[in-house]
Structure 1
Amino acid sequence: MNQIQASSAGKPATVSARISPMGGLDILSRNEVARLRGASDSGLHALLRRCALAVLTSGNIGDDPRAILEQYPDFDIQVLQQDRGIKIELSHAPAQAFVDGQIIRGINELLVAVVRDIVYVSTQLEQVGSGLDGSAGLTESVFDILRNARILAPHIDPNLVVCWGGHSISREEYDYTKLVGYQLGLRWLDICTGCGPGAMKGPMKGATIAHAKQRRLPNRYIGVTEPGIIAAESPNPIVNHLVIMPDIEKRLEAFVRIGHGIIVFPGGVGTAEEILYLLGILLHPDNAGIPFPLIFTGPRESAAYFEQIDHFLRLTLGDEVAAHYQIIVDDPASVARAMVKGLDKVRQNRLDTKDAFFFNWALRIPLEFQLPFRPSHEAMRALQLHRDRPRHELAADLRRAFSGIVAGNVKEEGVQAIERHGPFDIDGDADIMRALDKLLRAFVQQHRMKLPGGTAYVPCYRIVTH
């Protein structure tokens, strides 16, 4: 029987309930259930609790990794093994996830995705062991996680558009993402994002209306996240396929393996990290000639943002990098038409090379883009941000620099490191440092580092200038 606890002394209302999972998780082994219960050595229960709470507060606007746990300190989740399958027991769960005492179906499905992915990554992939050491093994692990999550869809022509962009964007920019999503949906395209708010929600919201007008079913609104991100940015409620990758590098690889084209909206350091990840891969000589449509777009008010990004990319990686992307300002229909044209090239290339439509096996992703980067003060100081390196290697370290700033801004581990030891130092060639400093200052001035409200943003980094 569900129990509803009313809010008191400023605390939000909560619900305790035992629910039957929906969405493809019927049974677990006794060992899997045991790994998810209690404060075991594996630490899976703490991870499960953190990710589950993010899903149960789906739709919340925030980017503080501690805020939700502080708001619901008594929340707990247990997975119970029963004769007829499993049950999920929730204690002091956010009442917003329930209607008249019953959990919302979409949230139930996302909760199941959390349990599924945490169990799978911790058990199945651990058994692979040293097979994950090489580049091919890491790609296989990404494939296995996506297949287990039922993200890979065979027998469908290339139609999955990945949309990147910031969670902290202006109202004009958010409305523009919806307009682009609407134009994509009218052209029968599916949407994949990082699953959070802002530019990750807008394209999905626009596409839902267009898909409804086209009477198109089923539709895929895929959210790809990882534990450090989901804890700070709850999934938006439109996501109907959620997958939690074990780290940011596998998350980024998942985007480029399953996506057939990428649209980038205005964002902050996380968006810059994603851009550098993809461009670093496309700049690798082994990937020459592989079509991958990449479009930067935003409303007229955001034109200066893309000028800054374009300038930074050209300065650090050379003018040739611009051949890999288009910039289209304030024209959602043109963005959609350009993407459709790009997807036609992707389809023909996959047919010619006999590559799968559902997973881009042909793309070479070097090991330096796959190995997890753990942002620490030592690791950030060790980055080689020098122009005399091969462009794809410089892009890999620039990506790591932005990844460290993301961690210092919104990830619990990074926030704690900054509190203990002060800001990260970032050093490199003088002109690269000046350009980086200018770009980051612009992000701060445009409120792209953190959601507005609360205290003023305090940088978690220090650019070493010469």
Structure 2
Amino acid sequence: MDNNDMRDEELERAQDEFVAQPEEVYHRGPVLFRGPMIPTDNTYANLLAPEGSTDWLHADPWRVLRIQAEFVDGFGALAELGPAVTIFGSARIARRDPMYHAAREAGYRIAEQGVAVITGGGPGIMEAANRGASIAGGKSVGLGIELPFEEGLNQYVNLGMTFRYFFVRKTMFVKYARGAIIFPGGFGTMDEMFELLTLVQTHKVASTPVALVGSEYWGPLFEWLAGPVRESGMISDLDPTMVTITDDVEEAVKVALSGIQA
């Protein structure tokens, strides 16, 4: 008889001799504990016990709850907003810049149609669009982000919320907008633009009309996309047609509103 057979016989003998003894059982929610697995604490006592450390405030489980709370607050704030257009653009655009005036006009024209205007709530293009919507007596929404040097929501926002997490904020931009107008901007603006275009391209959201204002600014980027990027097989022939590039604010507004009026 080899060692394996001996171990098998010992195991069978031990199983035959084993008689389950009644022992204490502990339930914590749906989880059952017996014997040495029974915890020495209990859930309610843990809740009421004084905390010796606040490290739990910075742990991932607590962070998940904060993220969940942001989604709940955002959905609750915007659920009854109605049709909306999101306007993206740089916070660095000065009030004297022609693009500031163009964004203010876009916000005004959209609000005139009874459509809400959603921006990132900051200065520059965002302020201009909120300003136009506010002047028109419309819904001027600002979705800000917690940043070290951020001044807070601009004074033309009449429905605002500040987020901790970029991805929650960007979800709100996309979920409640039926169209988008994108003015010149940097990394943040391009991040928002390409995320929206990716969601449309991959059919994660319904087709969303996108207008880019500023042909000199956006033209070279999309020439590169239609040229080397497409020729390398990184995008399809149809991808560059997902946006309308224009210098005409009226046309940009018409494109953005087409998703609502369709």
> In which range does the TM-score fall when normalised by the shorter chain?
0.5 to 0.7
- The percent identity for this pair of structures is 22
Aligned-residue RMSD, C-alpha: 3.3
2:39 aligned residue: none
Distance 2:110 2:170 in 1: 22
1:153 aligned residue: 80
Write out aligned runs for 1:11-160 (5 A).
Answer: 41=55, 126=62, 143-148=71-76, 150-153=77-80, 156=82, 159-160=83-84
SS in 2 for 1:341: helix
TM-score by length of 1: 0.39
Distance 2:75 2:216 in 1: 40
The answer on 1:279 being equivalent to 2:197 is yes
SS in 1 for 2:110: helix
Aligned counterpart in structure 2 of residue 310 of structure 1, from 201, 208, 222? 222
8 Å CA contact retained: 1:175, 1:202:
yes
The answer on 1:223 being equivalent to 2:142 is yes
1:337 aligned residue: 254
Write out aligned runs for 1:65-464 (5 A).
Answer: 126=62, 143-148=71-76, 150-153=77-80, 156=82, 159-169=83-93, 171-211=97-137, 219-228=138-147, 231-284=149-202, 286-287=203-204, 290-297=206-213, 302-314=214-226, 315-316=228-229, 317-318=234-235, 319-329=237-247, 331-345=248-262
5+ residue gaps, structure 2, are 1-46, 48-52
Letter of the structure 1 residue corresponding to residue 73 of structure 2: I
Letter of the structure 2 residue corresponding to residue 187 of structure 1: Q
Distance 1:42 1:265 in 2: 42
1:202-229 Cα deviation digits (max 9, x unpaired)? 1111122223xxxxxxx42221122237
TM-score by length of 2: 0.66
Distance 1:40 1:238 in 2: 38
Letter of the structure 1 residue corresponding to residue 111 of structure 2: G
Distance 1:240 1:42 in 2: 36
* Pairwise CA distance, 1:167: 0.9
Distance 2:99 2:111 in 1: 18
- CA, structure 1 residues 127+181, in 2 after alignment: closer, same or farther (shift >3 Å)? closer
Letter of the structure 1 residue corresponding to residue 80 of structure 2: A
SS in 2 for 1:235: coil
5+ residue gaps, structure 1, are 1-30, 32-38, 45-121, 133-137, 212-218, 346-466
Distance 2:224 2:164 in 1: 30
SS in 1 for 2:168: helix
Larger Rg: 2
